[in-house]
Structure 1
Amino acid sequence: MSTAPARPRAALLLLAYLAFVSLGLPDGLLGVAWPSIRDDFHVPTEAVGLVLTAGTVGYLTSSVLAGFTLARIGVGALLAASTLLASLALSGYVLSPVLAVLVGCALLLGLGSGAVDSGLNAYAAGVFGPRHMNWLHAFFGLGVAIGPLIMTGALSAGLSWRWGYGTVAAAQFALAIAFALTVRAWRRDSPATAGAAGAAGAAPAAAVRVPIGATLRLPAVWSGTLAFALYVALEVSAGLWAFLLLTEGRGLGAAVAGGCVSAYWGSLFVGRVVQGVVAERLGATLVLRVSLVGMAVGAGLIAAPGPAALAVLGLVVVGFAAAPVFPLLTLTTADRVGAAHADRAIGLQIGASGIGAALAPAGLGVLIGNTSVQVLGSALVVLALALIALYEWGARRPSGRPVPAQPDGEGQTSGPVRPVVEGR
């Protein structure tokens, strides 16, 4: 049998890795850049909430719509257009004369990033196994770890924060071109196509129409959606405010603190590389439970009074423990809600993660502005304990059932079922 299909899949896997890196880069920039942006635009610390909220509105809108329309527009075209939009938005950051313009660009960046995130996660959940799913998200962590280094390097060289965003904008533009050149390959190697073709010699997949309401009525869809919001709230809050905690709260210099923030995101990358293999051997449930407890322990170290080294250790523990949570929850979505609802559920989950990424850090910004940055650790502990409670509650509820094979006109099953979503 010909091995030709392996080549485009390997190429698409490489592009998917690069895309996850590019998704992480902007997230890693803001925490280091914000003090400079705040000073340039003469706005208070809590004004970061405007940027985060605008980004979340765009992210939520596009990620949910992508989950519901992915089968119609194709993942390749979605990735090419959305990555180009993200590049243009980041270029807008570079040119923004006032905060209001930057907030508008944050909305566009959210629209581009949400669609890319949802499309890639839905594609990967249908095509790749636990190891590659963790490794793909590890490369997101790598992107977020590189982001602070890019921004710290620009600021340490005496350059404006705008140079950091310009560098990432150029990288996003190059990736958009790569997606545009491979649109047909993504369509040919999509999960829907693979499901329709089946294994060698298998019968074609049957089509099952699944109303949107059926997806929205599943409790497993909403418990998973809330879990994503809590998880990302913790992950982003730690990364966004760690720089301020280490500089203003624990007395570290800006360069050292920037390196420590990169260490946090780097531990997320290393954890996903390592635990991608561990999850295949020990199973998702055990790895998820241990990871959630580890996040709570790390948050406790950040909250504990002590030297800066203790807070840095807590950040690294949180990053390493959090590593497999997002990819494993995404990978097991079909097990919880059924394959027919998986794309939609993933879109909702990605959208909820955007809400968590904005509301919690923005709320913390207001809290920090009115108290002190030392409150960060306690807030992370509360989020970690809430996530543990939600996961255990969801684990004890019946999961969503997959759509069964349907008989054909002659009373015989016609092979694996391929869900076809309806727009009503």
Structure 2
Amino acid sequence: MSTTPVPPRASLLLLAYLAFVSLGLPDGLLGVGWPSIRGDFGVPTEAVGLLLTAGTAGYLTSSVLAGFTLARVGVGALLAGSTLLASLALTGYSVSPGLTVLVGCALLLGLGSGAIDSGLNAYAAGAFGPRHMNWMHAFFGLGVAIGPLIMTGALSAGLAWRWGYGIVAAAQLALATAFALTVRAWRQRAAPGGPVERAPGPRPVVRVRETLRLPAVWSGALAFALYVAIEVAAGLWAFLLLTEGRGLGATVAGACVSAYWGSLFLGRVVQGVVAERLGPARVLRVSLAGMAVGAALIAVPGPAALAVAGLVVVGFAAAPVFPLLTLTTADRVGAAHADRAIGLQIGAAGLGAALVPAGLGVLIGNTSVRVLGPALLVLALALIALHELGVRRPGRPATGASGDSAPDETGAQPAASRQPSGADQMLSGPVRPVVEGR
């Protein structure tokens, strides 16, 4: 029987790419726009923590709920509604009269973004292989790279920071319309050598508590929290580090922040192909080590060029970590628990993205922005330790209904007992279980 993968439907793949661009755009806006926002509203630097906390509350709530209810709601409808909500929230940013309203908009933006992120990751983990999974996440990096350019361009033209958010709100509205027009297409699944199929008939029920009992679910969630904390903290505080800590001008520093996010995009494009050839385990190990090296370059006192080089190294090395950890979720927890685990992982990622950068903001406000490099290095080393602990753990946690065998130390399962996962599962035709809350 042939195992040649069936390419994902081109229109849905394009929409998935654009959706991840839209997820990245607001993150890129905030880092460059915050000094102006802070000045307009007369609030201290660490007040950004209020926005991050509100955004995280919404993101965490919607991402976890999306993972648990995706089978009932349908990914197409979820994406259409969530993108519309994000557009409304960004419109609120552009007309906000003060910080309080801005915090409320951050909550709505988190609700929309979390559902988009969780829904698309769960869908892609079953429909895309390593290359397209990395490329999809690469477009998040492209979005965050474009975000600072949009905000820098608006500010350089003498416009208010509100214009940056208004432009992105319009783009989100267009994307929401595209999702609404393709709701039915997202329900279709491809089978190898055959026509497109709709979701097949009776599927086993898996209880929520069976998923929550798995140690691999929680260790995976912690790894996501640490990884995203590094990625977001580096991007959020890099502008301040380069301007106040290294003496660069605002325009040059804004371009350097874009270079950081651009390296994340480029790394995912390149390493998507590499991961497909070498396997996720090897690529993950090298990438985690590279993140630590880049953080060390940022931590070392020296010229601005050294810090910029460190940021680019962190971005390029971090590129495949999130998509590969997501893609291999079914291998760690079993296919029956994959959607829920991905929802929890995305939620944990949102938590790490808010709490750690916000905590760093408080630390920077009370000390110096130069603390950013050492903090990133500590987080990178902790992530390496957690990953190695997971790799060396003897045996595999039970997977409930999936009945999968333990993977070997490379991350692959024995050929005789391996259950299809990720793209293989979707393309080779086995039935995915329904997950129901009990």
Could you say whether these structures have the same fold, taking a TM-score greater than 0.5 normalized by the shorter chain as the test? yes
Q: How does 1:15-34 map to 2 (within 5 A)?
A: 15-34=15-34
Distance 1:32 1:167 in 2: 15
How far has the Cα of 1:258 moved from its partner? 0.1
Describe the SS at the equivalent of 2:302: coil
Describe the superposition over 1:122-179 as per-residue Cα deviations: whole angstroms up to 9, x where unpaired: 0000000000000000000000000000000000111100000000000000000000
How far has the Cα of 1:200 moved from its partner? 4.8
Distance 1:422 1:21 in 2: 31
Partner of 2:146: 146
How far has the Cα of 1:416 moved from its partner? 3.3
Describe the SS at the equivalent of 2:143: helix
Partner of 2:433: 419
Partner of 1:390: 386
Describe the superposition over 1:50-90 as per-residue Cα deviations: whole angstroms up to 9, x where unpaired: 00000000000000000000000100000000000000000
For the structure 1 residues 405 and 298, does the alpha-carbon distance in structure 2 shift closer, same or farther, using more than 3 Å as the test?
A: closer
Name the aligned partner's letter for residue 174 of structure 2: A
Describe the SS at the equivalent of 2:204: strand
Partner of 1:241: 237
The counterpart of 2:358, out of the listed 359, 362, 366, is 362
Distance 1:420 1:169 in 2: 35
Asked if 1:172 is matched to 2:168, the reply is no
Partner of 2:246: 250
Name the aligned partner's letter for residue 399 of structure 1: R
Unaligned runs of 5+ in 1: 1-5, 407-414
Partner of 1:102: 102
For the structure 1 residues 318 and 392, does the alpha-carbon distance in structure 2 shift closer, same or farther, using more than 3 Å as the test?
A: same
For the structure 1 residues 159 and 228, does the alpha-carbon distance in structure 2 shift closer, same or farther, using more than 3 Å as the test?
A: same
| TM-score under structure 2 length normalisation | 0.90
Partner of 2:424: none
How far has the Cα of 1:8 moved from its partner? 8.4
Partner of 1:399: 396
Counterpart contact for 1:8–1:185, Cα < 8 Å: no
Partner of 1:412: none
Counterpart contact for 2:296–2:377, Cα < 8 Å: yes
For the structure 1 residues 8 and 346, does the alpha-carbon distance in structure 2 shift closer, same or farther, using more than 3 Å as the test?
A: closer
Distance 1:400 1:74 in 2: 29
For the structure 1 residues 264 and 177, does the alpha-carbon distance in structure 2 shift closer, same or farther, using more than 3 Å as the test?
A: same
Distance 1:399 1:50 in 2: 40
Describe the superposition over 1:21-77 as per-residue Cα deviations: whole angstroms up to 9, x where unpaired: 001000101000000000000000000000000000000000000000000010000
Asked if 1:212 is matched to 2:200, the reply is no
Identity %: 83
Q: How does 1:124-143 map to 2 (within 5 A)?
A: 124-143=124-143
Partner of 2:157: 157
Q: How does 1:317-356 map to 2 (within 5 A)?
A: 317-356=313-352
How far has the Cα of 1:286 moved from its partner? 0.5
* C-alpha RMSD of matched pairs (Å): 1.8
Number of positions where the alignment pairs a residue of Structure 1 with one of Structure 2: 404
Distance 2:140 2:302 in 1: 31
For the structure 1 residues 347 and 242, does the alpha-carbon distance in structure 2 shift closer, same or farther, using more than 3 Å as the test?
A: same
Describe the SS at the equivalent of 1:97: coil
| TM-score under structure 1 length normalisation | 0.93
Unaligned runs of 5+ in 2: 1-5, 405-428
Counterpart contact for 2:335–2:402, Cα < 8 Å: no
Partner of 1:297: 293
